[in-house]
Amino acid sequence: MKNIVIIVFLFFSFAAFSQRPESGISDSWKKIYRATPTKINDLVNTNLEVSFDYSKCWMYGKALLTLHPHFYATDSLNLDAKGMNINEVSIIKDGKHIPLKYFYDSLNLYITLDKTYKGGQNYTIYIDYVSKPNEIKSKGSMAISSAKGLYFINPLGKEKNKPTQIWTQGETESNSVWVPTIDKPNQKTTDEISMTVPDKYVTLSNGLLVKQKKHNDGTRTDTWRMDLPHAPYLMMMAVGEYSIIKDSYKSKEVSYYVEKEYAPVARKIFGLTPEMIGFYSRITGVDYPWPKYAQIVGRDYVSGAMENTTATLHNEYAQQDARQLIDGNNWEIDIAHELFHQWFGDYVTTESWSNLTLNESFADLSETLWDEYKHGKDAGDEHNYVGIQTSLYSSGKKDLVRFYYNDREEMFDMVSYQKGGRILNMLRNYVGDSAFYKSLNLYLTTKKFNSAEAQDLRLAFEEVTGQDLNWFWNQWYYGSGNPKLDISYNYDTDRKTAKVFIKQTQPDKIFRVPIAIDLYQGTEKKRYKVWLENQADTFAFPASSKPDLINVDGDKILLCEKTDHKTLDNYIFQYKNAGLYVDRREAIDFAARIQTEDKNALTFLEAALKDRYKGLRIYTIQKLNIRDDSVKKAVEPLLADIANSDPSSMARSSAIQALGKYKNDKYKALFLKFLDDSSYSVSGNALIALAAIDTSAALKQARVLSAQPAKGILGDAINNILFTYADETDFDSLAARFENLSSGNSRYRVLIPFGNYLKRVKDKNNFSKGVDLIVAFRETLPQSMRQQFGNYLNEMVFKPIAAAKQSAGMTEQADYVKSKISGN
Ligand SMILES: [Zn+2]
């Protein structure tokens, strides 16, 4: 599973407005050991026949479940079945239904079997039931914002600009809302799902479409069969109007289900998938194990994406138009992430949520691996470095494998994802690529179609490398924190010795870290591999003259915070001669800090504006202090060059943004020219830069540009300028614009500008109409977000409007908006 911008956006910007938990909240969970679920019965096969009632948002299901006792004989079966109506529970004997005794408490179905079954002895039960996903209470997590399992999207077709769809979301334990099952990650089942749907819709599920049958009443039944066992949370269904674009990997079908208007760009979004499948098959040594791979886009999806076996579901943000794709495919890394789960998560599954690292840390690492393979070492290193920074910022005192947590959804955090991915990357560096991939292959082939815990991974690595790796697992998997290093240097001219002093300054424990130290004299580099093992370690190396650079952690993979006492000259040397992405970035960071006081630092930054990697050109632009006159003057021609002719549209757009800060009329013609650029980023930043020097020209251009659909930076820029500078004569078109913004995300982003616009609206009817539109938007949000969002809206939009109206003497309008404050 992948959490994304929208979720991050919501949680980070609205988090401050969420209700604090009651003080004295119970921490009894700290004493609850989260054991791997006991296997009393094992799922064997799941056979479902379902149909949907769109008006009630119900699903009618008939399930045939084949199971057997895991080892010990038993006469009972406990199934997860959330919020259902149960019509019949029976056992199948010679084709006949024999009713069974059962007790149902709305979460679990406790069944007494007709006799005691021995370990491994199959039996098949039948359940007739109704799923009512909208009638159960659900909660969300960082990764998903709801847990209903089965979602009806715009079921009655009443919402404008939104198709009617059905999709499911199983992880963590929500599929038991629509299928009675043992909803635990250490179960595996084959399945066959028959969905009866209106004939105009297509369907998707796991495995292969084996049968389609049309009925006289305008419906059709599609039967999907998954012959290989997978975990219950990976079962999925999706129904809707889609274009299906077909590719292939070897002889297997690879397909992309997108809304019709995205059919022409589907290959631009998803088309690298076959190459990715080949890449991941090669590095793991396990050829893609499933019969097909489909990807589908769901509206109002509650997470970023989900790796249902052979049928990944993506958030609608995957659907980018042709102009967005000019700035790069925002979704490529999510596509890679979900695909790698088909091995790590689906083929071998974590046996408990405590061991989620076995799914998510690998998927996170796969993003780095793909970037490195497809876009070069700089891109891979950049992804890894961002992951390191995210981990340092957020991982705190949590172990990677956690047997104590309050709620299993909390496992989907930056420790399981980013930090775990970096831990695997350190392991890759330590054992070497070839041993790393051989160990992954051993782990996958040993545990295939099964579940595993983090120790299984250690055993595979020990088998391949011949080394005891408990120290690594104990430190990184079953421990928390990271080293904080203070690094300093000394050269002894008499003894011709260079020394490096490394102190570990973190308070709680000392880390054991294998580390590469590179010593540079001129272009000659000598690598020393040493271990940090003490609170303070000193390393001495022979050096005939003072080294130009001593580069600690030469591969720049260590998950650590560091204070490195290097000079500007060291860093400039490092930029040129060590040369990795992080080597260069560290040099840029250091020079940026002293750019206004050291001429050499500024000269270096001017050179860094021509870095070979676009990511570092952009980074350097962002680090420039343009308020300083000497910086401003020195970089201006370079920025103009980048704006005009950089091969990367993102670098051009960053340069335009920086030129906008000059507020110089001489760039007006240039900004006007860039408004027509094919890139949304270039065009959007040009519009913002234009507004900084001539608001009426920008407003005029925004009106023209608003006639065409626009997304990305341009879409936001148009909205911001219209809402910030237009007057009341534009009210009708602006109100319609707000109402028609297609995605929730772009509406969130214009709420404050729209609120500011309403402060200027004098007409009473217009004003109340505008306020009502915001209230209506609040009402469309899922219940789980409404309170947080309502608080945000009160503080950031409604109260400021009320205050402005009050001080302008418009009491009636002030009262109107006050009456809409939620909680009133
Ligand atoms: Zn994931």
Which residue bears the tokens 């913004």? 741
Give me the amino acid identity at 485.
Answer: L
Cβ distance 453 to 355 under 8 Å?
A: yes
Q: Rounded distance, CA 688 to CA 168, Å? A: 40
Cα of 354 vs centre of ligand 1, distance in Å, is 15
Cα of 88 vs centre of ligand 1, distance in Å, is 37
What pLDDT, on the 0 to 100 scale, is given for residue 394? Answer: 77
Helices (H), 419-547: 420-431, 433-447, 454-465, 470-472
SS3 content of the chain, % helix, strand, coil (to 5): 45, 25, 30
Cα of 252 vs centre of ligand 1, distance in Å, is 23
Cβ distance 755 to 771 under 8 Å?
A: no
Phi and psi of 782, rounded to 5°? -60, 145
Q: Rounded distance, CA 675 to CA 776, Å? A: 33
**Arithmetic mean of pLDDT, 245-252:** 98
Cα of 359 vs centre of ligand 1, distance in Å, is 7
Confidence of residue 739 (pLDDT cuts 50, 70, 90): confident
Cα of 40 vs centre of ligand 1, distance in Å, is 29
What pLDDT, on the 0 to 100 scale, is given for residue 161? Answer: 81
Cα of 347 vs centre of ligand 1, distance in Å, is 14
Q: Read off the tokens for 725.
A: 């500078």
Three-state SS string across 397-422, please?
Answer: CCCCCCCCCCCHHHHCCCHHHHHHHH
Q: Is the pLDDT of residue 669 over 80?
A: yes
Cα of 513 vs centre of ligand 1, distance in Å, is 28
Cα of 305 vs centre of ligand 1, distance in Å, is 8
Confidence of residue 17 (pLDDT cuts 50, 70, 90): low
Q: What is the pLDDT of residues 576-602, one digit of tens each?
A: 999 999 999 999 999 999 999 999 999
Mean pLDDT of all residues belonging to the chain: 93
Give me the amino acid identity at 472.
Answer: F
Cα of 149 vs centre of ligand 1, distance in Å, is 17
For the beta carbon of residue 710, count every other beta carbon within 10 angstroms: 22
Cα of 416 vs centre of ligand 1, distance in Å, is 10
Q: Is the pLDDT of residue 144 over 80?
A: no
Cα of 4 vs centre of ligand 1, distance in Å, is 11
Cβ distance 360 to 412 under 8 Å?
A: yes
Cα of 783 vs centre of ligand 1, distance in Å, is 25
Within 533-638, strands assigned E span 536-542, 549-552, 561-564
Comparison of pLDDT for 279 and 22, the residue scoring more: 279
Cα of 210 vs centre of ligand 1, distance in Å, is 29
The number of CA neighbours under 13 Å toward the Cβ of 377 is: 10
Q: Rounded distance, CA 775 to CA 363, Å? A: 39
The number of CA neighbours under 13 Å toward the Cβ of 634 is: 21
Q: What is the dihedral of CA 178, 179, 180, 185, to 10 degrees?
A: -110
Cα of 337 vs centre of ligand 1, distance in Å, is 6
Q: Rounded distance, CA 240 to CA 571, Å? A: 56
Q: For residue 178, which of 203, 197, 150 has the smallest C-alpha distance?
A: 150
Residue 149: which region, alpha, beta or left (left: phi > 0; alpha: psi -120 to 50)?
left
Q: For residue 326, which of 742, 821, 682 has the smallest C-alpha distance?
A: 682
Q: Rounded distance, CA 769 to CA 792, Å? A: 20
What pLDDT, on the 0 to 100 scale, is given for residue 105? Answer: 94
Cα of 344 vs centre of ligand 1, distance in Å, is 9
Q: Which pTM was predicted?
A: 0.94
**Arithmetic mean of pLDDT, 280-302:** 96
Cα of 338 vs centre of ligand 1, distance in Å, is 6
Cα of 58 vs centre of ligand 1, distance in Å, is 29
Cα of 467 vs centre of ligand 1, distance in Å, is 30
Cα of 424 vs centre of ligand 1, distance in Å, is 15
Cβ distance 581 to 378 under 8 Å?
A: yes
Cα of 422 vs centre of ligand 1, distance in Å, is 15
Confidence of residue 777 (pLDDT cuts 50, 70, 90): confident
Cα of 306 vs centre of ligand 1, distance in Å, is 7
Cα of 341 vs centre of ligand 1, distance in Å, is 7
What pLDDT, on the 0 to 100 scale, is given for residue 340? Answer: 98
Cα of 70 vs centre of ligand 1, distance in Å, is 29
DSSP 797: I
Cα of 363 vs centre of ligand 1, distance in Å, is 5
Cα of 394 vs centre of ligand 1, distance in Å, is 18
Q: Rounded distance, CA 665 to CA 693, Å? A: 7
Helices (runs of H) and strands (runs of E) counted in the chain: 27, 29
Q: Write the DSSP string, 712-742.
A: HHHHHHHHHHHHHH--GGGHHHHHHHHHH-S
Cα of 339 vs centre of ligand 1, distance in Å, is 9
| Residues with Cβ within 8 Å of residue 521, at least 6 apart in sequence | 543, 544, 545, 547, 548
Cα of 326 vs centre of ligand 1, distance in Å, is 26
Cα of 349 vs centre of ligand 1, distance in Å, is 12
**Arithmetic mean of pLDDT, 770-774:** 94
Q: What is the pLDDT of residues 448-495, one digit of tens each?
A: 999 999 999 999 999 999 999 999 999 999 999 999 999 999 999 999
Cα of 87 vs centre of ligand 1, distance in Å, is 36
Cα of 343 vs centre of ligand 1, distance in Å, is 12
Cα of 24 vs centre of ligand 1, distance in Å, is 34
Cβ distance 723 to 753 under 8 Å?
A: yes
Three-state SS string across 332-397, please?
Answer: HHHHHHHHHHCCECCCEEECCHHHCHHHHHHHHHHHHHHHHHHHCHHHHHHHHHHHHHHHHHHCCC
CA–CA distance from 610 to each of 577, 595, 642, 643 (Å)? 16, 17, 9, 12
Cα of 506 vs centre of ligand 1, distance in Å, is 30
Q: Read off the tokens for 721.
A: 């300028």
Comparison of pLDDT for 739 and 806, the residue scoring more: 806
Q: Read off the tokens for 237.
A: 């269904």
Cα of 233 vs centre of ligand 1, distance in Å, is 13
For the beta carbon of residue 94, count every other beta carbon within 10 angstroms: 5
Q: For residue 356, which of 420, 406, 262 has the smallest C-alpha distance?
A: 420
Cα of 681 vs centre of ligand 1, distance in Å, is 28
Cα of 449 vs centre of ligand 1, distance in Å, is 18
Q: Above pLDDT 90, what percent of the chain?
A: 86
**Arithmetic mean of pLDDT, 364-393:** 97
Cα of 26 vs centre of ligand 1, distance in Å, is 30
Q: Is the pLDDT of residue 22 over 80?
A: no
Cα of 420 vs centre of ligand 1, distance in Å, is 12
Q: Is the pLDDT of residue 59 over 70?
A: yes
For the beta carbon of residue 400, count every other beta carbon within 10 angstroms: 22
What pLDDT, on the 0 to 100 scale, is given for residue 7? Answer: 42
Q: For residue 29, which of 406, 563, 375 has the smallest C-alpha distance?
A: 406
| Residues with Cβ within 8 Å of residue 599, at least 6 apart in sequence | none
Cα of 357 vs centre of ligand 1, distance in Å, is 10
